[in-house]
Amino acid sequence: MVLAAPPTQPSERACLIAWNSPANHANHVKLLSEKPIVGLTLRTGVSYTVTWTKTTSKQTGGPACLMTIIKRGGLRIVTGTWTANGVARWTFGHTIAERRNYPPTETANVRLLADGRVTKIYRR
């Protein structure tokens, strides 16, 4: 019996390529509808799902690409669960209300392009 190896953690570049894929066009349009946006981050991370029954709970998780949309008064996380073949589906979470711009806008590492794709920000 051969067990499949779990997917490895993606690089930030792999997440950028996954987001900018032509197959992700619907999410590009959805991101554009979030304007005005104060800042964007696209980083690697881990995503977990917890499933409950009346008597038990089960937690599953794995590597992911995580985009944070920073807006005035709130932020929103977009999760792309990473598989051996990249991200098959991106999920937009609910907006989290914030009184300040958190995380700080200086943490932005990508910027939004006119077509909904993103490009890396290089700082000197």
Q: Are 63 and 7 in contact (CB under 8 A)?
A: yes
| Whole-prediction pTM | 0.85
Can you give the residue ranges of every domain in the chain? Answer: 12-120
State the pLDDT at residue 116. 97
Q: Are 98 and 69 in contact (CB under 8 A)?
A: no
Q: Is the pLDDT of residue 4 over 70?
A: no
State the pLDDT at residue 49. 87
The DSSP code sequence of 37-98 is -SEEEEEEEEEEEEEE-SS-EEEEEEEEEEEEEEETTEEEEEEEEEETTEEEEEEEPPPEE-
